[in-house]
Structure formats: C-alpha cells, structure tokens
Chain A
Amino acid sequence: MANTIGWGSGAANNSIGWGQGKTNNAIGWGNVYSSSPSGETDLVGVIPPISLTSPVISGSGVVGQTLSTTDGTWSGTLPITYTYQWNRNGSEILGATFNTYTLVTADASTSIDCTVTATNAGGSLSKNSNAISVAAAGDADANAFITAAAITDTTQKAAIDTLVTDLKNYGIWTKMKAIYPFIGGTAAQHKFNLKNPLDTNAAFRLVFNGGWTHSSTGAKPNGTNAWANSFFNPSLHNVANSSHMSYYSRTLFADTITNACEMGCFTASGAQRNLIFASGNGTSYCVPNNNNEFIVSFASNGVGFYVASRTSATAIMGQRNSTQYTNTATTARINNIISLGAGSGPAAGLYSSYSPRESAFASIGDGLSATEAANYYTAVQNFQVSLSRQV
C-alpha cells in the first residue's frame, strides 16, 4: 500500500513520513532507495502537494451571479494540476466542477464553498475554500411575477430573476410598462405582465382570443384568427414622444403575398394599424403611429428581437438583434389599444393581418435610446439563452 502523508508503515511506499518499510520513503526518516531490493520501482524525491494557503472564493452571493475560486497556494513536486468541486451546504453540486460556478435559485439561502484538489505524481490533497452565504432568492419584482404566474421550474425562476436584475442594472426596468416574457407554457402563465403581475385588465394582462398555441418556447398565434389584447393605450399611458414596442419572433416569415402583424392596434374606425409587422415584400416594419406612416424599416423578416422606439418628435429608430435602423417622422402617439398577433384587436370577423410568428417576449413602454435598446437585446437574449429557446 502507499501512504502519501503519514506515519503508516507497510510493504510499499511512504512519500512523507516516519514509516519504515522494505521499499522507499521519499522524505522522512526511513531508508530511501531508487528501487527495492526485490526490484520494485518507485518515485524518488517526489513531494506530493502540500497546501500553503487555502483557496478563496470571490463573487457576490446572489442568485444569477458567478463565483470563482483561486487554487490556493501549494508546494510539492511540479507539475501540479487542480480539480474543483463546488458544494452546497457541504454536499457536492452535480456537474459543478469548474473554477467558476453560477448561482442558481436552488442555492438561495445556502452556503456555497469549493473543494480544490491538487494532484501531482506523488498523490493528491484536497482543501476547502471559504464559504459564501447566498442571499434569499430573488428580486422582489421577479418573485411577484413568479408567484402570480405559478412558475415552479428552477431554471425558469432563475431566468426571470436574472432578467429583472439585468433590466434594473441597465436602467431599463423603470421605462417598461408591460413586459410579456411568455414563460411557463400555458395561457394562464403567459398572460401576466412582469411589471405588474395582476390578473386584471388595468394591469395590462393579456387576454387571448382565437387559436394560440402555448408552449415552453413561447406563445404562437395561428395566423388565422389569433390575437391578444394588452389593454395598453399609449396615448393614455405614455407621455408624448416617448414610447417603445418590442417583439421577440421565433418564426421566420417567408410569405411573399400577405402581411403578418406581430403588434397592432384598434382605431376609432375599426381599421387595422400594423405596428410591428412582417410584410410580403420581405421586409419588416414598425409603424408606431396612427397615420399609416412607416417610421422604421427593418431589412428582413428574419427571426429575432425587434425593438422600435421613439424618444423625441424626430428621434425614431428600430433595432433587430441590436442592429440599428433609423428613420424620422412626426406623427401623433398611438391612440389605440395595442394588440399582439394581429393588425388590430378586431371585433368578430373584422379583417386583420393575423401573424403566425411565435413570440418568446414582447414589451411596451417608454422610449429607449439606441444604447438602451442594445442593452435590452442583451438582457432579453440572455433570458432566451437561459431557457434554451434563443434564435
């Protein structure tokens, strides 16, 4: 048997120690041989790892944040390699074997540390790091939504929490009036507005009409008769010259004849108004006004995150996946309630540009600058990636 450190004795090696045997002792008080008289071969002068200072974890103990650990300092014969195992309340976290670890909801209100194991030719030795206490789970706004929408999946909870945290860190959260993250997989969950998760029209919850398919990847209108009422009227709920709309489309629109409207609105006359829509000419547009004057023309009908924003009478722009498109117009605010999935919130049978494009996110709110819109894309795309439904 071999003893890397210790006082053991036996028929085999003792790397460090006071043991005696018929073979080798690398350091110690025993006899040192390059090989035993019987012909056994052993390492000579190999010093196994010895911990000089413990590993140290850095990072914030908040769900969604990433912790990292140092190796600590070690002596011993080179080369020394290191492996890592992160622990939650002293128990190993399955698969957490890198020198970084991103905290998930399950880590909330627990203690996290990391065991670093140093290995060389002479053996291995493990040392535990300091422990980090993780704060109770979640942002209060995220928790309110999670509770209202009955989100129970750990990954989904963490995704919402990180999304809210990111939006707040970017200074965007306060500019949002309605956010539809379409998380959970059912109409009962997809209807909630993250900004105000109450099951009332006044809170801008969505009311679905017609044929929607709700799944873990989002809410998909059927392109035949599906639309959703947001109850949000920019003319009443936004200040003049400050508005934005966004829509995360997971469905490529390739129709060359008709148009598909992802966001639209009522008009006083009952006519449709397409606000963000894919057209049969292969281009997507945003028309955030009620005068049929397009203000932003996107280059394609591709999948991705469309944002259209207005921050002044003439500062009007759009972004698709953070690529900037700019146009100008001087038009009135939308004076109609915004719908999703169709060109209007139609009375029964009223013609509209129903869309077949699945949405994994949508929002309505105050105007966003180009930088804010780009940051918004980063936050929303991170959200989609964390749910494995990004395009």
Chain B
Amino acid sequence: MKIAQLTQEEKAIYVGLLTVEQKDLLVGQLFDEDSYFNPIQDDNNNWIISIEEIEQNQNPEFGWLQDLEMILFVPKVNPMPF
C-alpha cells in the first residue's frame, strides 16, 4: 500500500518502510527549510519514516518517498525511566 491509498484515519497509524540504504540517504537531510528527516526503528527493527515527513517533504531529491511501502507502526515500548 502506498501513501496515496491511505485514509486519514490510516495515516495516524501507518509509517513508510525504508531500506537501510534509503535510511542512510535521509539522515541529516532537510525535508523543508527548517526540518530534518529522522528515520527510526520500530519494535521489529524496521527502519521507518513518518507520514508527516513524507507529506511535508519539499526536497525533490526525495520524491521517491511517495512510493514507499506503508506498514502499521509498531512502536518500541517505553518503560518508566526510574
């Protein structure tokens, strides 16, 4: 499933699946004048990028984000820090 096929409700729970190579392309790069990409790993250690970053991207170099496969976001569980 691509981002264009997601409903608004689905956009709240889906993320874009990245390869390691795609992740490396995004790290340290701006997606608009004041915002950087931040690829992270989900609970299955998949590299993922958020819907917001894909939709707000203004950098034509990363137009391929629109073609990413969308997967359900499975966050790492954050334990109490103390």
Which residues of A are in contact with B by a Cβ distance under 8 Å? 187-188, 191, 207-213, 222, 224-227, 257-261, 272-274, 277, 279-281, 287, 292-294, 343, 346, 348-354
Contact = CB atoms under 8 A, between A and B. Distances in A.
Nearest to A228: B35
Contacts of A257: 77
Interface in B21-41: 23, 27, 32-41
B80 interface: yes
Nearest to B32: A187
B65 interface: no
15 contacts: A187-B34, A207-B36, A210-B50, A210-B52, A211-B38, A211-B51, A211-B56, A222-B52, A224-B48, A224-B73, A224-B75, A225-B40, A260-B78, A349-B47, A351-B78
Contacts of A222: 50-52
Contact of A258 (B41, B50, B52, B78): B78
Nearest to A208: B35
B60 interface: no
Interface of B: 15, 23, 27, 32-41, 47-53, 56, 73, 75-82
B16 to A, nearest CB: 11
Nearest to A356: B12
B34 A225 contact: no
A225 B50 contact: yes
B11 to A, nearest CB: 10
Nearest to A213: B52
A210 B39 CA distance: 7
B34 A273 contact: no
Contacts, number: 96
A58 B68 CA distance: 64
Given A224-B15, A348-B23, A353-B78, A208 B34 contact: yes
A191 B35 CA distance: 10
A211 B34 CA distance: 12
Contacts of A261: 78
Contacts of B23: 348-349
Nearest to A348: B27
Contacts of B38: 209-211, 225-227, 346, 348
Given A207-B36, A224-B15, A226-B50, 10 more contacts: A211-B38, A211-B51, A225-B48, A225-B49, A225-B50, A226-B52, A258-B75, A259-B81, A294-B82, A353-B81
B23 to A, nearest CB: 7
Contact of B76 (A191, A348, A351): A351
A303 B34 CA distance: 27
A281 to B, nearest CB: 8
Nearest to A272: B81
A226 B36 CA distance: 10
Residue in B40, B49, B81 whose Cβ sees the most chain A Cβ within 10 Å: B81
A209 B37 contact: yes
Contacts of B37: 209-210
A210 B32 CA distance: 11
A352 to B, nearest CB: 8
A188 B32 CA distance: 9
B50 A224 contact: yes
A212 B51 CA distance: 10
A351 B40 CA distance: 8
A208 B36 contact: yes
A211 B52 contact: yes
Nearest to B47: A349
B32 A348 contact: no
Contacts of A208: 34-36
Contacts of A293: 82
A227 B52 CA distance: 13
A217 to B, nearest CB: 16
Nearest to B39: A348
A274 B32 CA distance: 28
